[in-house]
Structure 1
Amino acid sequence: MTTTTEPRPAATLAASALDLTKTYGRGETAVRALDGVSVGIEAQQFTAIMGPSGSGKSTLMHLLAGLDSPTSGRVFLGDTELTSLSDAQLTKVRRRAVGFVFQAFNLLPTLTARQNIRLPLDLAGRGVDPSWEQLVVDGLGLTDRLGHRPGELSGGQQQRVALARALLTRPEVIFADEPTGALDSATGAEVLALLRRSVDQWDQTVVMVTHDPNAAAVADRVLLLADGQIAGELTNPDVDAVIEAVRGLGRA
Protein backbone atom coordinates (compact mmCIF):
# COMPACT_ATOMS: atom_id res chain seq x y z
CA MET A 1 0.00 0.00 0.00
CA THR A 2 1.28 3.48 -0.87
CA THR A 3 0.33 6.45 1.28
CA THR A 4 0.96 9.97 0.05
CA THR A 5 0.43 13.55 0.99
CA GLU A 6 -0.03 16.01 -1.82
CA PRO A 7 3.24 17.94 -2.28
CA ARG A 8 3.16 21.72 -2.37
CA PRO A 9 3.88 23.48 -5.68
CA ALA A 10 7.41 22.60 -6.80
CA ALA A 11 8.71 26.16 -6.57
CA THR A 12 8.05 26.25 -2.82
CA LEU A 13 9.64 22.92 -1.91
CA ALA A 14 12.97 22.78 -0.11
CA ALA A 15 12.95 18.97 -0.13
CA SER A 16 10.67 16.26 -1.43
CA ALA A 17 10.33 12.51 -1.80
CA LEU A 18 8.47 10.48 -4.41
CA ASP A 19 7.30 6.91 -3.75
CA LEU A 20 10.10 6.34 -1.27
CA THR A 21 10.78 2.89 0.12
CA LYS A 22 13.55 1.68 2.39
CA THR A 23 14.08 -1.96 3.27
CA TYR A 24 16.70 -3.28 5.67
CA GLY A 25 17.81 -6.90 5.40
CA ARG A 26 16.69 -9.59 3.00
CA GLY A 27 14.29 -12.48 2.80
CA GLU A 28 12.29 -13.39 5.87
CA THR A 29 14.25 -11.00 8.08
CA ALA A 30 13.67 -7.97 5.83
CA VAL A 31 12.13 -4.92 7.47
CA ARG A 32 10.45 -2.23 5.37
CA ALA A 33 11.12 1.02 7.24
CA LEU A 34 9.39 3.19 4.61
CA ASP A 35 6.62 1.98 2.35
CA GLY A 36 5.91 4.21 -0.66
CA VAL A 37 6.10 7.66 0.96
CA SER A 38 5.65 10.82 -1.11
CA VAL A 39 5.94 14.14 0.70
CA GLY A 40 6.96 17.74 0.15
CA ILE A 41 8.78 19.98 2.66
CA GLU A 42 7.89 23.61 2.14
CA ALA A 43 10.69 26.16 2.12
CA GLN A 44 11.03 28.61 5.00
CA GLN A 45 8.75 26.51 7.18
CA PHE A 46 9.28 24.44 10.34
CA THR A 47 8.20 20.82 9.82
CA ALA A 48 8.17 18.24 12.61
CA ILE A 49 8.06 14.48 11.98
CA MET A 50 6.44 12.32 14.66
CA GLY A 51 5.46 8.71 15.08
CA PRO A 52 5.90 5.66 17.30
CA SER A 53 9.25 3.93 17.58
CA GLY A 54 9.88 2.05 14.36
CA SER A 55 7.48 4.21 12.36
CA GLY A 56 10.20 5.33 9.95
CA LYS A 57 10.56 8.96 11.02
CA SER A 58 14.34 8.95 11.42
CA THR A 59 14.71 6.92 8.23
CA LEU A 60 12.67 9.50 6.31
CA MET A 61 14.78 12.35 7.65
CA HIS A 62 18.04 10.59 6.82
CA LEU A 63 16.87 9.94 3.26
CA LEU A 64 15.70 13.53 2.76
CA ALA A 65 19.07 14.75 4.06
CA GLY A 66 21.07 12.46 1.80
CA LEU A 67 22.57 10.56 4.72
CA ASP A 68 21.19 7.27 3.43
CA SER A 69 20.00 5.89 0.10
CA PRO A 70 16.49 4.56 -0.54
CA THR A 71 15.73 1.09 -1.76
CA SER A 72 13.52 2.71 -4.39
CA GLY A 73 11.99 6.10 -5.06
CA ARG A 74 13.43 9.56 -5.60
CA VAL A 75 14.64 12.29 -3.23
CA PHE A 76 15.07 15.95 -4.13
CA LEU A 77 16.77 18.81 -2.34
CA GLY A 78 15.25 21.78 -4.09
CA ASP A 79 15.61 20.93 -7.78
CA THR A 80 18.56 18.59 -7.24
CA GLU A 81 17.78 14.88 -7.32
CA LEU A 82 19.93 13.35 -4.59
CA THR A 83 19.18 9.81 -5.72
CA SER A 84 20.93 10.46 -9.05
CA LEU A 85 24.22 11.69 -7.55
CA SER A 86 27.48 9.86 -6.96
CA ASP A 87 28.84 9.67 -3.41
CA ALA A 88 31.30 12.48 -4.14
CA GLN A 89 28.58 14.69 -5.61
CA LEU A 90 26.29 13.95 -2.69
CA THR A 91 28.97 14.94 -0.19
CA LYS A 92 29.42 18.29 -1.94
CA VAL A 93 25.66 18.95 -1.92
CA ARG A 94 25.36 18.10 1.79
CA ARG A 95 28.23 20.43 2.66
CA ARG A 96 26.71 23.25 0.64
CA ALA A 97 23.00 22.89 1.19
CA VAL A 98 22.30 20.89 4.36
CA GLY A 99 22.76 21.68 8.04
CA PHE A 100 22.51 19.10 10.83
CA VAL A 101 21.62 19.32 14.51
CA PHE A 102 21.77 16.06 16.46
CA GLN A 103 20.71 15.01 19.95
CA ALA A 104 24.32 14.25 20.88
CA PHE A 105 25.59 17.64 19.55
CA ASN A 106 28.41 15.95 17.53
CA LEU A 107 30.99 18.61 18.39
CA LEU A 108 34.71 17.87 18.19
CA PRO A 109 36.04 18.05 21.77
CA THR A 110 39.48 19.38 20.83
CA LEU A 111 38.11 22.36 18.90
CA THR A 112 36.81 25.61 20.33
CA ALA A 113 33.22 26.67 19.80
CA ARG A 114 34.26 29.00 16.99
CA GLN A 115 36.29 26.25 15.30
CA ASN A 116 33.36 23.83 15.57
CA ILE A 117 31.02 26.43 14.11
CA ARG A 118 33.32 27.04 11.15
CA LEU A 119 34.16 23.38 10.54
CA PRO A 120 31.70 22.74 7.65
CA LEU A 121 33.01 25.78 5.80
CA ASP A 122 36.60 24.70 6.41
CA LEU A 123 35.87 21.21 5.07
CA ALA A 124 34.21 22.69 1.99
CA GLY A 125 37.06 25.14 1.40
CA ARG A 126 34.72 28.10 1.74
CA GLY A 127 35.38 31.39 3.44
CA VAL A 128 33.39 32.78 6.36
CA ASP A 129 30.99 35.68 5.87
CA PRO A 130 31.94 37.74 8.96
CA SER A 131 28.69 39.71 9.12
CA TRP A 132 26.54 36.56 8.90
CA GLU A 133 28.71 34.76 11.45
CA GLN A 134 28.38 37.68 13.86
CA LEU A 135 24.61 37.81 13.39
CA VAL A 136 24.28 34.07 14.09
CA VAL A 137 26.65 34.08 17.06
CA ASP A 138 25.02 37.12 18.64
CA GLY A 139 21.53 35.79 17.94
CA LEU A 140 22.32 32.48 19.64
CA GLY A 141 23.98 34.12 22.63
CA LEU A 142 27.43 32.62 21.99
CA THR A 143 29.58 35.72 21.73
CA ASP A 144 31.40 35.15 25.04
CA ARG A 145 31.72 31.36 24.55
CA LEU A 146 33.58 31.18 21.24
CA GLY A 147 36.94 30.36 22.83
CA HIS A 148 35.54 27.54 24.98
CA ARG A 149 35.78 23.86 24.10
CA PRO A 150 32.65 21.66 24.29
CA GLY A 151 33.67 20.21 27.67
CA GLU A 152 33.59 23.73 29.09
CA LEU A 153 30.03 24.38 27.90
CA SER A 154 26.65 23.33 29.23
CA GLY A 155 24.44 21.03 27.19
CA GLY A 156 22.31 23.95 26.06
CA GLN A 157 25.37 25.92 25.02
CA GLN A 158 26.73 22.94 23.09
CA GLN A 159 23.44 22.63 21.20
CA ARG A 160 23.58 26.35 20.42
CA VAL A 161 27.05 25.81 18.96
CA ALA A 162 25.66 22.93 16.89
CA LEU A 163 22.84 25.14 15.64
CA ALA A 164 25.28 27.95 14.79
CA ARG A 165 27.37 25.41 12.86
CA ALA A 166 24.28 24.36 10.92
CA LEU A 167 23.29 27.96 10.18
CA LEU A 168 26.69 29.30 9.16
CA THR A 169 26.63 27.70 5.71
CA ARG A 170 23.18 29.21 5.04
CA PRO A 171 21.84 25.78 4.09
CA GLU A 172 18.70 25.11 2.11
CA VAL A 173 17.44 22.85 4.91
CA ILE A 174 18.41 22.26 8.54
CA PHE A 175 17.67 18.71 9.71
CA ALA A 176 17.33 18.32 13.47
CA ASP A 177 17.20 14.81 14.96
CA GLU A 178 15.72 14.92 18.49
CA PRO A 179 17.59 18.20 19.16
CA THR A 180 16.17 18.55 22.68
CA GLY A 181 16.47 14.87 23.65
CA ALA A 182 19.58 15.37 25.82
CA LEU A 183 18.42 18.64 27.41
CA ASP A 184 16.26 19.53 30.38
CA SER A 185 12.85 21.01 29.61
CA ALA A 186 13.83 24.65 30.14
CA THR A 187 16.99 24.42 28.02
CA GLY A 188 15.14 22.41 25.40
CA ALA A 189 12.51 25.13 25.15
CA GLU A 190 15.27 27.69 24.54
CA VAL A 191 16.73 25.60 21.71
CA LEU A 192 13.28 25.18 20.14
CA ALA A 193 12.74 28.93 20.32
CA LEU A 194 16.03 29.44 18.49
CA LEU A 195 15.02 26.96 15.78
CA ARG A 196 11.73 28.81 15.47
CA ARG A 197 13.59 32.10 15.24
CA SER A 198 15.85 30.75 12.49
CA VAL A 199 12.71 30.15 10.41
CA ASP A 200 10.86 33.35 11.25
CA GLN A 201 13.76 35.81 11.16
CA TRP A 202 16.43 34.15 9.02
CA ASP A 203 14.17 32.40 6.47
CA GLN A 204 15.58 28.94 7.16
CA THR A 205 13.79 25.66 6.50
CA VAL A 206 13.81 23.26 9.46
CA VAL A 207 12.86 19.58 9.50
CA MET A 208 12.84 18.07 12.99
CA VAL A 209 12.28 14.51 14.16
CA THR A 210 10.88 14.43 17.69
CA HIS A 211 8.86 12.28 20.07
CA ASP A 212 7.93 15.30 22.23
CA PRO A 213 4.50 16.89 21.59
CA ASN A 214 5.69 20.16 23.15
CA ALA A 215 8.54 20.31 20.66
CA ALA A 216 6.31 19.40 17.71
CA ALA A 217 3.86 22.16 18.65
CA VAL A 218 6.54 24.75 17.87
CA ALA A 219 6.45 23.69 14.20
CA ASP A 220 4.22 25.01 11.41
CA ARG A 221 3.36 21.48 10.33
CA VAL A 222 3.56 18.02 11.88
CA LEU A 223 3.89 14.95 9.68
CA LEU A 224 2.64 11.76 11.36
CA LEU A 225 4.19 8.42 10.44
CA ALA A 226 3.06 4.91 11.30
CA ASP A 227 4.37 1.61 9.93
CA GLY A 228 6.53 3.37 7.36
CA GLN A 229 3.70 5.41 5.86
CA ILE A 230 2.34 8.93 6.20
CA ALA A 231 -0.59 8.59 8.60
CA GLY A 232 -1.71 12.22 8.63
CA GLU A 233 -0.54 15.76 9.26
CA LEU A 234 -1.35 18.80 11.36
CA THR A 235 -0.91 22.44 10.42
CA ASN A 236 -0.39 25.20 12.99
CA PRO A 237 -0.55 22.59 15.75
CA ASP A 238 -0.94 23.07 19.48
CA VAL A 239 0.20 20.61 22.13
CA ASP A 240 -3.25 19.13 22.73
CA ALA A 241 -3.80 18.50 19.02
CA VAL A 242 -0.41 16.80 18.72
CA ILE A 243 -1.06 14.59 21.75
CA GLU A 244 -4.45 13.55 20.42
CA ALA A 245 -3.03 12.80 16.98
CA VAL A 246 -0.26 10.63 18.41
CA ARG A 247 -2.79 8.81 20.62
CA GLY A 248 -4.85 8.21 17.50
CA LEU A 249 -1.85 6.51 15.88
CA GLY A 250 -1.61 4.24 18.90
CA ARG A 251 -5.29 3.35 18.75
CA ALA A 252 -5.04 2.63 15.04
Structure 2
Amino acid sequence: MVMIETAARAANLTKSYGSGAAAVTALDGVDVDLGRGEFTAIMGPSGSGKSTLMHCLAALDTPTSGEVFLGDQALSRLNDKKLTELRRDRIGFVFQSFNLVPTLTAQENILLPLAIAGRRPDPDWFDQVIETVGLRDRLSHRPSELSGGQQQRVACARALVSRPDVVFADEPTGNLDSASGEEVLRFLRYSVDELGQTIVMVTHDPAAAGGTDRIVFLADGRVVDEMREPSADRILDRMKQFDARHAARGEV
Protein backbone atom coordinates (compact mmCIF):
# COMPACT_ATOMS: atom_id res chain seq x y z
CA MET A 1 0.00 0.00 0.00
CA VAL A 2 1.37 3.43 -1.00
CA MET A 3 1.51 5.90 1.88
CA ILE A 4 0.29 9.38 0.90
CA GLU A 5 1.91 12.39 2.54
CA THR A 6 -0.55 14.71 4.31
CA ALA A 7 -0.81 18.25 2.93
CA ALA A 8 -3.37 19.47 5.48
CA ARG A 9 -5.51 17.97 8.21
CA ALA A 10 -8.17 18.73 10.78
CA ALA A 11 -8.02 17.20 14.25
CA ASN A 12 -11.23 17.09 16.35
CA LEU A 13 -12.35 20.31 14.68
CA THR A 14 -15.41 22.06 16.10
CA LYS A 15 -16.98 25.31 14.95
CA SER A 16 -19.99 26.85 16.68
CA TYR A 17 -21.83 30.09 16.03
CA GLY A 18 -23.87 31.96 18.61
CA SER A 19 -24.32 30.98 22.24
CA GLY A 20 -26.81 29.41 24.60
CA ALA A 21 -30.09 28.19 23.10
CA ALA A 22 -29.28 29.97 19.81
CA ALA A 23 -25.94 28.19 19.34
CA VAL A 24 -25.43 26.36 16.06
CA THR A 25 -22.70 23.72 15.68
CA ALA A 26 -21.44 23.80 12.08
CA LEU A 27 -18.58 21.33 12.67
CA ASP A 28 -18.75 18.64 15.33
CA GLY A 29 -15.40 16.94 16.01
CA VAL A 30 -14.18 16.59 12.43
CA ASP A 31 -11.04 14.54 11.75
CA VAL A 32 -9.81 14.49 8.16
CA ASP A 33 -6.46 14.17 6.38
CA LEU A 34 -5.92 15.63 2.91
CA GLY A 35 -3.31 13.86 0.82
CA ARG A 36 -0.55 15.77 -0.95
CA GLY A 37 -0.84 15.64 -4.73
CA GLU A 38 -4.48 14.54 -4.57
CA PHE A 39 -7.75 16.04 -5.80
CA THR A 40 -10.27 15.80 -2.93
CA ALA A 41 -13.94 16.78 -3.04
CA ILE A 42 -15.97 17.71 0.02
CA MET A 43 -19.68 16.94 -0.41
CA GLY A 44 -22.81 16.96 1.68
CA PRO A 45 -26.29 18.45 1.89
CA SER A 46 -26.87 22.15 2.55
CA GLY A 47 -25.94 22.96 6.12
CA SER A 48 -23.64 19.94 6.46
CA GLY A 49 -20.62 22.13 7.24
CA LYS A 50 -18.63 21.65 4.04
CA SER A 51 -17.92 25.36 3.38
CA THR A 52 -17.18 25.95 7.06
CA LEU A 53 -14.69 23.08 7.01
CA MET A 54 -12.96 24.49 3.95
CA HIS A 55 -12.79 27.98 5.44
CA CYS A 56 -11.21 26.61 8.64
CA LEU A 57 -8.73 24.48 6.67
CA ALA A 58 -7.82 27.50 4.53
CA ALA A 59 -7.26 29.77 7.55
CA LEU A 60 -10.20 31.99 6.52
CA ASP A 61 -12.11 31.14 9.70
CA THR A 62 -11.02 30.18 13.22
CA PRO A 63 -12.34 26.96 14.77
CA THR A 64 -13.99 27.01 18.18
CA SER A 65 -11.84 24.07 19.26
CA GLY A 66 -9.58 21.46 17.71
CA GLU A 67 -6.67 22.12 15.39
CA VAL A 68 -5.87 22.65 11.72
CA PHE A 69 -2.45 21.71 10.35
CA LEU A 70 -0.90 22.80 7.07
CA GLY A 71 1.85 20.22 6.69
CA ASP A 72 3.11 20.00 10.26
CA GLN A 73 2.33 23.66 11.08
CA ALA A 74 -0.46 24.10 13.65
CA LEU A 75 -2.42 27.20 12.61
CA SER A 76 -3.51 28.06 16.17
CA ARG A 77 0.11 28.83 17.03
CA LEU A 78 0.38 31.58 14.42
CA ASN A 79 -0.32 35.26 15.11
CA ASP A 80 -2.32 37.37 12.66
CA LYS A 81 0.76 38.47 10.70
CA LYS A 82 2.00 34.89 10.26
CA LEU A 83 -1.49 33.70 9.29
CA THR A 84 -1.68 36.40 6.62
CA GLU A 85 1.70 35.32 5.27
CA LEU A 86 0.63 31.67 5.29
CA ARG A 87 -2.59 32.44 3.36
CA ARG A 88 -0.59 34.49 0.86
CA ASP A 89 2.32 32.14 0.33
CA ARG A 90 1.11 28.60 1.01
CA ILE A 91 -2.60 28.57 0.17
CA GLY A 92 -4.40 29.24 -3.11
CA PHE A 93 -8.10 30.08 -3.47
CA VAL A 94 -10.62 29.65 -6.27
CA PHE A 95 -14.07 31.09 -5.59
CA GLN A 96 -17.41 30.55 -7.30
CA SER A 97 -17.60 34.27 -8.16
CA PHE A 98 -14.06 34.43 -9.69
CA ASN A 99 -13.07 37.49 -7.55
CA LEU A 100 -11.06 39.13 -10.34
CA VAL A 101 -10.20 42.85 -10.28
CA PRO A 102 -12.14 44.32 -13.23
CA THR A 103 -9.62 47.07 -14.03
CA LEU A 104 -6.67 44.66 -14.31
CA THR A 105 -5.74 42.49 -17.27
CA ALA A 106 -5.76 38.71 -17.01
CA GLN A 107 -1.98 38.68 -16.52
CA GLU A 108 -2.15 41.38 -13.84
CA ASN A 109 -4.90 39.45 -12.03
CA ILE A 110 -2.85 36.25 -12.14
CA LEU A 111 0.23 38.00 -10.74
CA LEU A 112 -1.63 40.11 -8.16
CA PRO A 113 -0.83 37.92 -5.10
CA LEU A 114 2.88 38.01 -5.93
CA ALA A 115 2.75 41.77 -6.57
CA ILE A 116 1.13 42.35 -3.18
CA ALA A 117 3.85 40.22 -1.56
CA GLY A 118 6.58 42.13 -3.44
CA ARG A 119 7.76 38.94 -5.15
CA ARG A 120 8.63 38.26 -8.75
CA PRO A 121 7.13 35.21 -10.46
CA ASP A 122 9.30 32.24 -11.35
CA PRO A 123 9.36 32.70 -15.17
CA ASP A 124 9.41 28.98 -15.95
CA TRP A 125 6.57 28.21 -13.53
CA PHE A 126 4.51 31.17 -14.75
CA ASP A 127 4.98 29.99 -18.33
CA GLN A 128 3.92 26.45 -17.38
CA VAL A 129 0.79 27.70 -15.59
CA ILE A 130 -0.19 29.94 -18.52
CA GLU A 131 0.33 27.06 -20.94
CA THR A 132 -1.79 24.81 -18.74
CA VAL A 133 -4.77 27.20 -18.51
CA GLY A 134 -4.56 27.88 -22.26
CA LEU A 135 -4.93 31.66 -22.02
CA ARG A 136 -1.70 32.88 -23.55
CA ASP A 137 -3.57 34.88 -26.21
CA ARG A 138 -5.91 36.44 -23.63
CA LEU A 139 -3.41 37.79 -21.09
CA SER A 140 -3.93 41.43 -22.11
CA HIS A 141 -7.74 41.19 -21.82
CA ARG A 142 -9.74 42.46 -18.85
CA PRO A 143 -12.33 40.22 -17.15
CA SER A 144 -15.24 41.86 -19.01
CA GLU A 145 -13.62 40.73 -22.28
CA LEU A 146 -13.43 37.08 -21.16
CA SER A 147 -16.05 34.34 -20.96
CA GLY A 148 -17.04 32.93 -17.57
CA GLY A 149 -14.91 29.85 -18.16
CA GLN A 150 -11.91 31.98 -19.13
CA GLN A 151 -12.36 34.16 -16.05
CA GLN A 152 -12.40 31.09 -13.82
CA ARG A 153 -9.26 29.77 -15.52
CA VAL A 154 -7.60 33.13 -14.76
CA ALA A 155 -8.65 32.64 -11.14
CA CYS A 156 -7.18 29.12 -11.18
CA ALA A 157 -3.91 30.41 -12.60
CA ARG A 158 -3.80 33.10 -9.91
CA ALA A 159 -4.25 30.40 -7.26
CA LEU A 160 -1.38 28.35 -8.69
CA VAL A 161 1.19 31.03 -9.56
CA SER A 162 2.68 31.18 -6.05
CA ARG A 163 3.09 27.37 -6.00
CA PRO A 164 0.96 26.93 -2.86
CA ASP A 165 0.87 23.83 -0.68
CA VAL A 166 -2.91 23.51 -1.21
CA VAL A 167 -5.50 25.11 -3.50
CA PHE A 168 -9.00 25.36 -2.02
CA ALA A 169 -11.82 25.69 -4.56
CA ASP A 170 -15.31 26.63 -3.34
CA GLU A 171 -17.93 25.52 -5.93
CA PRO A 172 -15.57 26.57 -8.78
CA THR A 173 -18.06 25.54 -11.48
CA GLY A 174 -21.16 26.91 -9.72
CA ASN A 175 -21.50 30.00 -11.95
CA LEU A 176 -20.51 28.30 -15.21
CA ASP A 177 -22.37 26.54 -17.99
CA SER A 178 -21.63 22.84 -18.39
CA ALA A 179 -19.00 23.28 -21.14
CA SER A 180 -17.10 25.98 -19.22
CA GLY A 181 -17.37 23.95 -16.03
CA GLU A 182 -15.83 20.94 -17.76
CA GLU A 183 -12.96 23.18 -18.97
CA VAL A 184 -12.17 24.28 -15.43
CA LEU A 185 -12.43 20.75 -14.01
CA ARG A 186 -10.07 19.43 -16.71
CA PHE A 187 -7.59 22.12 -15.78
CA LEU A 188 -7.83 21.30 -12.06
CA ARG A 189 -7.37 17.59 -12.83
CA TYR A 190 -4.36 18.34 -15.03
CA SER A 191 -2.81 20.56 -12.37
CA VAL A 192 -2.91 17.62 -9.94
CA ASP A 193 -1.69 15.00 -12.41
CA GLU A 194 0.97 17.02 -14.23
CA LEU A 195 1.93 19.86 -11.88
CA GLY A 196 1.72 17.87 -8.63
CA GLN A 197 -0.78 20.29 -7.08
CA THR A 198 -3.01 19.47 -4.08
CA ILE A 199 -6.62 20.57 -4.56
CA VAL A 200 -9.57 20.49 -2.17
CA MET A 201 -12.92 21.33 -3.77
CA VAL A 202 -16.31 21.90 -2.19
CA THR A 203 -19.04 20.90 -4.63
CA HIS A 204 -22.63 19.68 -4.73
CA ASP A 205 -22.25 18.37 -8.30
CA PRO A 206 -21.75 14.58 -8.63
CA ALA A 207 -20.35 15.02 -12.17
CA ALA A 208 -17.70 17.47 -10.90
CA ALA A 209 -16.82 15.26 -7.93
CA GLY A 210 -16.59 12.21 -10.20
CA GLY A 211 -13.30 13.48 -11.59
CA THR A 212 -11.55 13.65 -8.22
CA ASP A 213 -9.40 11.07 -6.42
CA ARG A 214 -11.42 11.01 -3.22
CA ILE A 215 -14.64 12.35 -1.77
CA VAL A 216 -15.21 13.21 1.89
CA PHE A 217 -18.92 13.24 2.78
CA LEU A 218 -20.22 15.49 5.56
CA ALA A 219 -23.60 15.45 7.28
CA ASP A 220 -24.65 17.41 10.37
CA GLY A 221 -21.13 18.77 10.81
CA ARG A 222 -19.48 15.34 10.90
CA VAL A 223 -17.54 13.19 8.44
CA VAL A 224 -19.88 10.29 7.70
CA ASP A 225 -18.20 8.54 4.78
CA GLU A 226 -15.56 8.75 2.09
CA MET A 227 -15.11 7.31 -1.37
CA ARG A 228 -12.05 6.65 -3.51
CA GLU A 229 -12.07 6.35 -7.30
CA PRO A 230 -15.54 7.91 -7.44
CA SER A 231 -17.93 8.04 -10.37
CA ALA A 232 -21.02 10.20 -10.80
CA ASP A 233 -23.28 7.13 -10.53
CA ARG A 234 -21.64 5.87 -7.32
CA ILE A 235 -21.86 9.36 -5.83
CA LEU A 236 -25.56 9.68 -6.68
CA ASP A 237 -26.25 6.29 -5.08
CA ARG A 238 -24.40 7.33 -1.91
CA MET A 239 -26.22 10.67 -1.73
CA LYS A 240 -29.58 8.88 -2.09
CA GLN A 241 -28.64 6.70 0.88
CA PHE A 242 -27.94 9.81 2.96
CA ASP A 243 -31.29 11.33 1.93
CA ALA A 244 -33.08 8.08 2.87
CA ARG A 245 -31.44 8.06 6.32
CA HIS A 246 -32.48 11.66 6.98
CA ALA A 247 -36.03 10.91 5.79
CA ALA A 248 -36.22 7.87 8.08
CA ARG A 249 -35.27 10.12 11.01
CA GLY A 250 -37.95 12.63 10.02
CA GLU A 251 -35.42 15.30 9.03
CA VAL A 252 -36.75 15.96 5.55
TM-score normalized by structure 2? 0.95
2:30 paired with 1:31 = no
Q: Distance in 2 between matches of 1:200 and 1:61?
A: 22
1:44 alignment partner AA: G
User: Equivalents in 2 of 1:204, 1:198: separation in Å?
Assistant: 6
What do the CA deviations read for 1:43-73 (whole angstroms, capped 9, x no partner)?
A: 0000000000000000000000000000000
- 1:173 paired residue number: 166
Q: Give the counterpart letter for 1:114 in structure 2.
A: Q
Q: 1:117 aligns with which of 110, 113, 120?
A: 110
Partners in 1 of 2:132 and 2:116 — Cα distance? 24
What is residue 107 of structure 1 aligned with on the other side?
A: 100
Match of 2:49?
Answer: 56
Identity among equivalent positions (%) equals 59
Number of positions where the alignment pairs a residue of Structure 1 with one of Structure 2: 244
Describe the superposition over 1:20-57 as per-residue Cα deviations: whole angstroms up to 9, x where unpaired.
00001111111000000011000000000000000000
Q: Which residue of 2 aligns with 1:5?
A: none
Looking at structure 2, the residues matched to 84 and 57 of structure 1 have their Cα atoms a distance apart, in angstroms, of: 24
SS of residue paired to 1:52: coil
Residue ranges of structure 1 left out of the alignment (5+ in a row): 1-7
Q: Secondary structure at the match of 2:176?
A: coil
Report matched runs for 1:124-143 at 5 Å: 124-143=117-136
Q: CA deviation at 1:79?
A: 1.1
Q: 1:66 and 1:245 mapped to 2: Cα distance?
A: 30
> Deviation of residue 182 (structure 1)?
0.3
CA shift, 1:88, in A, is 1.0
Q: Secondary structure at the match of 1:36?
A: strand
Whether 1:72 aligns to 2:65 is: yes
Q: For 1:249 and 1:176, how far apart are their aligned partners in 2?
A: 24
* 1:4 aligned residue: none
Does 2:61 align with 1:42? no
- Indicate whether 1:87 and 2:80 are aligned: yes
Letter in 2 for 1:103: Q
Give CA deviations for 1:57-97 in whole Å, capped at 9, x if unaligned.
Answer: 00000000000000000000011111221111100011110
Aligned partner of 1:96: which letter? D
Secondary structure of the residue aligned to 1:105 is coil
5+ long unaligned stretches in structure 2: 246-252
Q: Give structure 1 regions of 4+ aligned residues with deviation exceeding 3 angstroms.
A: none
Write the letter of the residue equivalent to 1:169: S
Give 1:223 shift: 0.3
The alignment's C-alpha RMSD in Å is 1.1
Correspondences of 1:194-233 after superposition (within 5 Å)? 194-233=187-226
Deviations 1:188-244 (A, max 9, x none): 011001000000000000000000000001110000000000010000001111111
- C-alpha distance in structure 2 between counterparts of 1:69 and 1:183, whole Å: 30
TM superposition shift of 1:104:
0.2
Matched to 1:87, the amino acid is D
SS in 1 for 2:27: strand
Give the letter for the 2:237 counterpart: E
State the TM-score, normalizing by the size of structure 1.
0.95
- SS of the residue aligned with 2:104? coil
Moved more, 36-45 or 121-130: 121-130
Q: Does 1:147 align with 2:140?
A: yes
